[in-house]
Amino acid sequence: MRGLRGGVAALLMGVLAGCGGEAEPRAAADFGEALFQDARLSESTFNRFSCATCHVTTPEAPAGRIDSGHSLYNVAARPGWWGGYETHLLDAVNFCYVNFMRGVTKLEAEDPRSRALYEYLSRISPDAQAPPLPFTVVKDIQDVPRGDIARGEAVYRAACQNCHGATHTGEGRLTELASLLPEVTQDYDRLFPGIPHAQVVIEKVRHGQFFGVGGNMPPYGTEALSDADLGALLTYLGL
Ligand code: HEC
Ligand code: HEC
């Protein structure tokens, strides 16, 4: 917490000193970068996610990383967000903050943290304009063809392991709240009688917490995770 408070203090001093020139936006962007990587941005003690848990900031995702959220490189240069549903950048950020990071109240525009995040997102947006990115949610869940087990293992490592840890043991998981995979499905006959286990998992991956599913796992649109990758993942999980 000390680092975060120090950051706030440094930022406020910059603002109060009214230095106005180059230094203050740069200090704000540095503070914003620290906030971006810090789960304590959210006041919830249950939260372990930072923005960086789900978003890279490079033009292309590094090898071995599949995220639910798009890269935020050039994000401030896009005309809209969340597949066109959000037209204000702070609203797009708050959607994540409240739904995934359990932020209790939205970040207000006047909050120094919003300002700092904005300066940081602007800094990683070098172009004047960038195209909006698609976000396609599969509404009606259907089964997907199973795929190659080695590919499925690679998908698991890239998409699920950071939060869920190793399969069967959960070793290294980000939060105790992330279920053991695939063992969580052992309860599904009781919880969701008559529904194939794979279908429940597809529902969770495609909808996250939405469509009445609950929790705070993010949803994967088809741009983030193809049906082919999902099918391979199910094979790897033995589903
Ligand atoms: C648990 C995962 C998760 C966390 C944590 C998260 N996001 Fe997101 N974010 C998503 C998903 C999923 C989307 C929807 C797909 C997309 O548009 O990128 C999204 C969308 C966005 C978008 C819109 C991008 C676009 O072009 O459509 C912005 C901006 C954004 N997030 C910023 C943030 C910031 C800033 C934080 C930290 C305060 C954050 N997110 C935390 C998962 C997350
Ligand atoms: C950003 C972190 C994060 C990522 C990435 C993530 N999960 Fe989760 N997942 C969670 C958390 C936290 C829970 C428990 C809370 C909830 O249900 O949302 C969970 C719950 C689940 C559940 C149990 C749902 C239930 O209630 O029975 C399944 C199944 C699941 N995840 C599958 C996956 C798969 C497959 C992937 C990779 C494609 C994945 N998750 C990626 C955080 C994550």
Q: Are residues 26 and 116 in the same domain?
A: yes
- The set of protein residues with a Cβ atom below 6 angstroms from ligand 1 is 41, 49, 51, 53-55, 68-70, 72, 75, 78, 81-82, 89, 92-93, 96-97, 100-101, 117, 133, 135, 218-219
Measured from the alpha carbon of residue 187, the closest ligand is: 2
Same-domain check for residues 176 and 102 = no
Q: Under a CB-based contact definition with an 8 Å cutoff, are residues 110 and 13 in contact?
A: no
> Which ligand has an atom closest to residue 215 CA?
2
pLDDT tens profile 106-152 = 999 999 999 999 999 999 999 999 999 999 999 999 999 999 999 99
Centre of ligand 1 to C-alpha 238, Å, is 30
Whole-model pTM: value is 0.92
Give the CA angle between residues 39, 83, 30 to the nearest 5°. Answer: 35
Over residues 77-85, the mean pLDDT reads: 97
In-domain check, residue 94? yes
Whether residue 51 contacts residue 41, with contact meaning beta carbons closer than 8 Å, is answered with: yes
Most confidently modeled of 9-23, 166-180, 208-222?
A: 166-180
Residue 91 counted as domain residue: yes
The total number of structural domains that make up the chain: 2
Residue whose CA lies nearest to ligand 2 atom number 19: 178
**Ligand 1 midpoint to CA 15 (Å):** 28
Does a structural domain hold residue 198?
Answer: yes
Any domain includes 62: yes
Task: Identify whether residues 70 and 10 lie together within a single domain.
Answer: yes
Mutation choice for ligand 2 from 56, 99, 153, 164, CB with most ligand atoms inside 8 A: 164
Residue 190 has pLDDT above 90, yes or no: yes
Q: Is residue 99 part of a domain?
A: yes
DSSP state of 230: H
Is residue 36 domain-shared with residue 119, that is, in the same domain? Answer: yes
> Collapsing DSSP states into helix, strand and coil, what is residue 154?
helix
Instruction: Report the separation in Å between the CA atom of 208 and the middle of ligand 2, taken as the mean of its atom positions.
Output: 7
**Ligand 1 closest atom vs CA 100:** 1
The Cα 79–Cα 74 span in angstroms is 11
pLDDT higher than threshold 90 for residue 69? yes
Residue 155 C-alpha to ligand 2 middle, in angstroms?
Answer: 14
> 142 lies in a domain?
no
In this structure, the answer to whether residues 107 and 168 fall within a common structural domain is no
CATH number (domain holding residue 192): 1.10.760
Q: Which two tokens stand for residue 140?
A: 């009606």
Residue 14 maps to a domain: yes
What residue numbers bound the domain in which 63 lies? 2-123
Measured between alpha carbons, how far is residue 170 from residues 19, 180, 184, 185, 223 in Å? 49, 6, 11, 14, 27
23 pLDDT band, cuts 50/70/90, is low
**Of the bound ligands, which one is closest to the alpha carbon of residue 66?**
2
Distance 92 CA to ligand 1 centre (A): 7
Dump pLDDT digits (tens) for 30-56: 999 999 999 999 999 999 999 999 999
CB-CB contact of 122 with 29 (8 Å): yes
Residues 173 and 218 in one domain: yes
